[in-house]
Amino acid sequence: MEEIIYLGSHISLTSPEYFLGAAKEAKSLDENCFMFYTGAPQNSRRVELERMSIPAGRKYCEDNGIFLDKCVIHAPYIINLANNENPDSYAFGKSFLKEEIRRCEAFGIRYLVLHPGSRKEMELEDSIACLVLALKEVIDPSSNVIICIETMAGKGKEIGRTFEEVASILEGVGDPAHIGVCLDTCHIFDAGYEVERIDEILDRFDKTIGLSNLHVIHLNDSKTYLGSHKDRHENLGYGAIGYETLRKYVYHPLLKGIPKILETPWVNEKPPYKEEIGMLRGEYREAWRDKFN
């Protein structure tokens, strides 16, 4: 049996069709899974689930070869549970994340990606403890949603910039059925990991975090250099990581079955994903970005 490679991108959820519209958009870009925010990534205003065309969207996915069990919801980046100096925003973050879990269930989506957050003025250890405490409180043991902590570039006071930091979050929570990891190729490169040495990277990941905890890959090239701590995504093959290396993350036998989600920048106000995914699925490589100019 031929093995399925799961490739998708970030898709916006917009009025009037919301989930159905996003599923159609993913299909038009030749994706078989996709990721979305349940509203604007930078704020917490959310449309009621009843208006999001969820049953029609789920049916569309089923009929059109989109694997709902490989789709991903991304929590908004305003949530910061890695610092509790402001009790109100800490409490708000927890209640919002609880609602996100409920929304994941309504969509039928298992993976909820979460940025671990910024420690601000707190010590790293205290910050991790703070996040662990929040996650334990938020996790619903009866749910099958897995919160996937994203590996970060280490911009500012971001935590989760090393595999060890991510591992200590997972160990602290101690509930692999509800907590896992999303590995972002751009972020770990910007954090200083030599992404091109894929076997060493995966071996280090396995020894610290455990590969069984890896559920989502964000496949992005990087605009900046190794160890820059910048977090600036680039189109595949146009950045410092390079196409050949990124392709290896799609086909590596240890990463089979894991959805690979692109969050690369749009080109001339158009999504580049059909071209990037087409290239990854085919044997060819082309200077596709020229066509967008």
* Shortest CB 27 distance to Zn ion, Å: 22
Identify which of residues 58 and 115 has a Cβ nearer to Zn ion in the complex.
115
Identify which of residues 52 and 73 has a Cβ nearer to Zn ion in the complex.
73
Identify which of residues 24 and 229 has a Cβ nearer to Zn ion in the complex.
229
- The whole-angstrom separation of Cα 21 and Cα 215 is 25
Please report, as residue ranges, which positions from 25 to 84 form the binding site for Zn ion (by CB under 5 A). Answer: none
The backbone region for 124, taken as left when phi is positive above 0, alpha when psi lies in -120 to 50, beta otherwise, is alpha
Judge if the upstream peptide bond of residue 55 is cis by omega within 30 degrees of 0: no
First to last CA, the chain: 40
* Shortest CB 283 distance to Zn ion, Å: 27
Which amino acid makes up residue 284?
A: Y
* Shortest CB 123 distance to Zn ion, Å: 26
- The whole-angstrom separation of Cα 157 and Cα 142 is 33
* Shortest CB 261 distance to Zn ion, Å: 8
Please report, as residue ranges, which positions from 87 to 146 form the binding site for Zn ion (by CB under 5 A). Answer: none
* Shortest CB 102 distance to Zn ion, Å: 23
How many angstroms separate the Cα of 134 from the Cα of each of 11, 91, 98, 101, 160? 28, 9, 10, 14, 16
The angle at the Cα of 79, spanning 14 to 31, to the nearest 5 degrees, equals: 40
Q: Could you tell me how many residues of this chain bind Zn ion (CB under 5 A)?
A: 2
Identify which of residues 26 and 183 has a Cβ nearer to Zn ion in the complex.
183
Identify which of residues 161 and 218 has a Cβ nearer to Zn ion in the complex.
218
190 binds Zn ion (CB under 5 A): no
CA dihedral defined by 246, 150, 215, 266, rounded to 10 degrees? -50
Please report, as residue ranges, which positions from 214 to 233 form the binding site for Zn ion (by CB under 5 A). Answer: 218
Identify which of residues 17 and 31 has a Cβ nearer to Zn ion in the complex.
31
Give the gyration radius of the chain's Cα atoms: 18
Continuous segment of H or E residues that includes residue 153: none
* Shortest CB 233 distance to Zn ion, Å: 8
* Shortest CB 91 distance to Zn ion, Å: 26
Identify which of residues 178 and 218 has a Cβ nearer to Zn ion in the complex.
218
* Cβ(35)–Cβ(71) below 8 Å: yes
Sheet holding 72-74, edge to edge: 7-9, 260-262, 214-219, 179-184, 146-150, 111-114, 72-74, 35-36
Identify which of residues 167 and 261 has a Cβ nearer to Zn ion in the complex.
261
Residue with CB nearest Zn ion?
A: 218
* Shortest CB 10 distance to Zn ion, Å: 9
Continuous segment of H or E residues that includes residue 201: helix 198-208
Please report, as residue ranges, which positions from 170 to 189 form the binding site for Zn ion (by CB under 5 A). Answer: 184
Give residues in contact with Zn ion (CB under 5 A): 184, 218
